[in-house]
Structure 1
Amino acid sequence: MYDFKKRVYEVIEVSHVGDNSSRAYDVLMTTAIIVGLVPLTMKGNSIYTVIIDVFTSVLFLIDYIARVYTADYKMGYKHYRAYIAYIFTPLAIFDFLSIVPVIYVFLPVSSLIGLLRLFRVFRVLKLVRYSKTMVIIANVVRKVKKQLMAVLILITVYIFVSAMLVFQLEPDLFNNFFDALYWATISITTIGYGDISPVTPVGRLITMISALVGMAVIALPTGIITAAYMAEITKKKSKYEL
């Protein structure tokens, strides 16, 4: 018996070799994603941006509904919880947010509605599922998320501690604590715009330490992701060799 839902899943989610329908769908959605980003390169709104937004958003809405409809195949179990679980997955959230910008077309313009247009940026993230390399990277990040979270917490703690120290040591340099946080963040990333520069010896010492810590901060997540990525590539090569 023909399983319509399974076929829909195969077309939108699984790209089998020789499946022309699935390949055509991938090309259609990739094109829609790229075209959907065009309004971000234009100032203001015009009839063309409205047409692009409506057309691409309709495609994204159909894609979103189809993916929710086949969520039980995606999640691997037949239960209503599969649909709920899928809706809250990162890619499903990005899919939903990519549809949001079209709302401004049908509602009076306001600053809040205007901000919705910025959600077009989330359409870039939809490209992840259509690139094998991006899928691998996404899987790698998912596997090492605990390590990356630990690094993020470490960085955040250091930024706050260094900001509090320099804020107390250089009270005349910073108008408020947010300025100190800004300085600490810029220093630890080794960008150093120079718009805020400590003048006391201790303040400059903290700046130098922040720059040195910044180099380690960049190396830590890079090393974690690179090691996990190479392990994933090696695993896939071994699988194909078998």
Structure 2
Amino acid sequence: MVTPSAARNSDSERFGKPASGLRLKLYTIIFEADTRAGKAFDVGLIIVILASVAAVVLDSVASIHARFAFELKVFELLVTAAFTIEYLVRLACVRRPDRYAFSVFGIIDLLALLPTYLAVLVPGLHALIDVRVLRLLRVFRVFKLTEYVAEYGALGQALKASRRKILVFMSFVLMVVVVMGTLMYVVEGPAHGYTSIPVGVYWAITTMTTVGFGDIAPQTGVGRMIASVMMLLGWGTLAVPTGIVSAEFTVQRQGLRGTTTRTCHECLSEGHSANARFCSDCGARLPAYQHDAADARA
């Protein structure tokens, strides 16, 4: 019989527990921002990301591309090499690299690399390198602005907690647009541009979301009355999910004071308070809180 302790030891051997040594130092620098080294790493990373995105934008300008195409290409290759090394180091210094690889930030980090390599096969994909701007989501961790870290975590938890309510609401909206789109197809017909039920559903969606492109518009009195109802429903469409998320957001904020960028070594969740002993998400024991004295006084 395998005891829980033996199972934990087995996981530690399999994934490599960064309890000490170089891996733990790299982990603290890369994944946390409560030390000078961690803060400097994140600031440097954001500067490189901005420079990379700016290079791609400039390269799309014909006059700049004609003069500096080679320099911009070399710079992009250097940045991609640096990001590749950083991504591999991130995988190497966590206990469970598969969990990080399939996390939100892990997927974003991978997407930041793929366009450059794929552009070798499909040159048009080079512009997709701008996806690297998503990595700037890490800016909330940089200057130990704990209120931003808390709000970021609260927003994520609020969306997670309200996902079922939003799903039910979206199901209702889907039923409404299908019914109203079908009704408009019957009332207006192909003569007025409603050539099929999918076209009617498309009109219902654009009208209910208050976008209203104007490419299809009702011509009959009954059709205009239906359109008016759809426009009024559009206000409710915006208000309901906003209220659901706002309510959950308020609840989450109440318990997120004094959080830090402290990260759990087991599940990689962050935002734990400085005096927490166990992870609030997976229950694992948290490592000792590493921070600078200046940050502790902040």
Do residues 107 (structure 1) and 130 (structure 2) align?
no
Report the AA paired with residue 119 of structure 1: L
CA separation in 1, counterparts of 2:139 and 2:84?
17
Among candidates 191, 202, 216, match of residue 182 of structure 1: 202
Give the aligned partner of residue 102 of structure 2: 88
Give the aligned partner of residue 213 of structure 2: 193
Q: Is the 8 A contact 1:169 1:203 kept in 2?
A: yes
**What's the CA shift for 1:96?**
1.0
Aligned pairs, how many? 225
Structure 1 residues 62 and 84, CA, compared in 2 at 3 Å: closer, same or farther? same
CA separation in 1, counterparts of 2:139 and 2:211?
34
% same residue: 22
**What's the CA shift for 1:25?**
0.8
Give the aligned partner of residue 231 of structure 1: 251
For residues 198-217 of structure 1, the C-alpha deviation after alignment (integer angstroms, 9 at most, x for no partner) is: 11233222212221221111
Give the aligned partner of residue 25 of structure 1: 41
Report the AA paired with residue 22 of structure 1: G
Structure 1: where are the runs of 5+ without partners? 73-81
Q: Is the 8 A contact 1:128 1:134 kept in 2?
A: no
Give the aligned partner of residue 213 of structure 1: 233
- The structure with the largest helix share of the pair is 1
Q: Is the 8 A contact 1:97 1:119 kept in 2?
A: no
CA separation in 2, counterparts of 1:70 and 1:158?
50
Do residues 170 (structure 1) and 188 (structure 2) align?
yes
TM-score (norm 1): 0.78
Q: Is the 8 A contact 1:100 1:119 kept in 2?
A: no
Structure 1 residues 57 and 70, CA, compared in 2 at 3 Å: closer, same or farther? same
Give the aligned partner of residue 79 of structure 1: none
Root-mean-square deviation (Å): 2.8
Partner SS state of residue 236, structure 1: coil
Report the AA paired with residue 71 of structure 1: V
Structure 1 residues 91 and 177, CA, compared in 2 at 3 Å: closer, same or farther? farther
Do residues 68 (structure 1) and 91 (structure 2) align?
yes
**What's the CA shift for 1:87?**
2.0
TM-score (norm 2): 0.65
CA separation in 1, counterparts of 2:163 and 2:71?
41
Structure 2: where are the runs of 5+ without partners? 1-18, 141-148, 260-272, 276-298
Do residues 54 (structure 1) and 106 (structure 2) align?
no
Report the AA paired with residue 117 of structure 2: I
For residues 101-145 of structure 1, the C-alpha deviation after alignment (integer angstroms, 9 at most, x for no partner) is: 212553363xxxx1x335334323222233124444334323333
